Amino acid sequence: MRPATLRLSTCVCCLLLATSARATDYYVSSTGLDANRGTSPAEAWRTIQRVNNDQYRPGDRILFEGGTTFSGNLFLDAVDAGAPDAPVTIGSYGTGRATIYAGDGTGILIHNAAGFVVRDLFVIGSGSTTNTGDGIFFFADLAGDVKLPYIRIDHVDAARFGDYGILIGSNNGNTGYADVRITAAV
């Protein structure tokens, strides 16, 4: 291969890698459509179920329209994990905080994954006598005493749940989470 062709091929490969590594902001709005791309407020998704059907990469942000209530149960797992230097963020955009209404279930469940920031949200259940879930639940059951790094929960109100507002735990040996910080959360 000629040197000029090799340099051009190397530049193209680097450009493709840089483009594929770019984080994406996803928007959820009461006026959105689940058929939309979700990558701008004008092209927002409408439901939590649509959010559950996608996969996320380190640095991505899932942003719910502030001042609006979204019914459903958000579920993310290891394929959606962020990283300490590029966490996946779940939060609000616009004016005020969005509300995730979980009904009788868990509002946000993140299973066997870390590298997340959850911020600027209300997470509400149906009531302590009817709800059987948690507001925000990070749960790890990986074998091998794994410590999943980096969880931040900030400015979140979790209420009206039958179990816990915020629960971070494991039931498998010493597996669990490291570098966890919860601030301004009720």
The string of pLDDT tens digits covering residues 57-68 is 999 999 999 999
Tokens of 93: 């955009």
pLDDT at 1 over 70: no
Give the distance, in angstroms, between the CA of residue 130 and the centroid of all CA atoms in the same chain. Answer: 25
Contacts of 27 (CB under 8 A, 6+ apart): 38, 39, 40, 41, 43, 44, 45, 63, 65, 93
Confidence of residue 173 (pLDDT cuts 50, 70, 90): confident
**Amino acid identity for residue 146 in this structure:** V
* Average pLDDT taken over every residue of the chain: 92
* pLDDT greater at residue 69 or residue 11: 69
Residues 45, 34: contact at Cβ < 8 Å? yes
Report the C-alpha gap between 94 and 120 in whole angstroms.
11
Question: 156 Cβ partners below 8 Å, 6+ apart?
Answer: 118, 119, 120, 121, 122, 123, 135, 136, 166, 184, 185, 186
Q: What is the pTM of this model?
A: 0.88
Show Cβ contacts of residue 78 under 8 Å, excluding neighbours closer than 6 positions: 111, 112, 113
pLDDT digits (tens, 9 = 90+) for 94-139: 999 999 999 999 999 999 999 999 999 999 999 999 999 999 999 9
